[in-house]
Amino acid sequence: MKLIVATHNHGKVEEIREMFAGLEFEPKSLKDVGFTDEIVEDGNTYFSNSLKKARTIHAKYPGSIVLADDSGLEVFYLDNRPGIHSARYAGPKPIQSDMVNKLLLELNGVPDEKRGARFVCVMVMLLPDGMVFTSRGECYGMIGNFPRGNNGFGFDPVFLPVEFQYRFSMAELPTEIKNQVSHRSRALSGVKSMLAELNTK
């Protein structure tokens, strides 16, 4: 059965492919299936954005499983901004350096003890019969003072997870280690359990 991941982001699909290794479901991106419609993420929660994406894609590919997520970085000093607006934080189609530089500028001069943050991911899996399954994952850490590493996307180069005592950024971690602690992997673990059950039917 086809598993469509509601993203054009190659990094996200690769992360999911790593997580689902061993299952019969091969994740496909929107590019892989030829989906080009723009989906406006105008919800006020991660869940509402995820569900809208999943339903829009499911309407075009009703026999498929659709996996959609909405993720965001919540910086406590910035009152949890950028949050659900993370993808558009530095404009409609920002490059990674724009996002990172804007965040570092907003936190310029803020001491380490006030740079706490968390990544949040809310994932929705929509089955062919219309059943909705949802899972949430969080990863806590702090925002570093400069970008580090190349193995990541979004805000990964400046996010230092607590699991490693803030010594490494997400973008410095090998994929297999990152997949143990990331917000997306924690949300995916619940989805993976559901897929494993489907895999046996």
Catalytic (active-site) positions: 70
**What single DSSP character describes residue 11?**
H
Q: In whole angstroms, what is the distance from residue 80 CA to residue 72 CA?
A: 10
Dihedral-angle region of residue 92 (phi above 0 means left; psi in -120 to 50 means alpha; beta otherwise): alpha
Closest CA to 95 of 151, 41, 154, 144: 154
Cα gap 55→42, rounded to integer Å: 14
Distance, CA of 58 to CA of 171 (rounded, Å): 32
C-alpha span between 66 and 72 (Å, rounded): 20
Whether 146 and 169 have beta carbons less than 8 Å apart is answered as: no
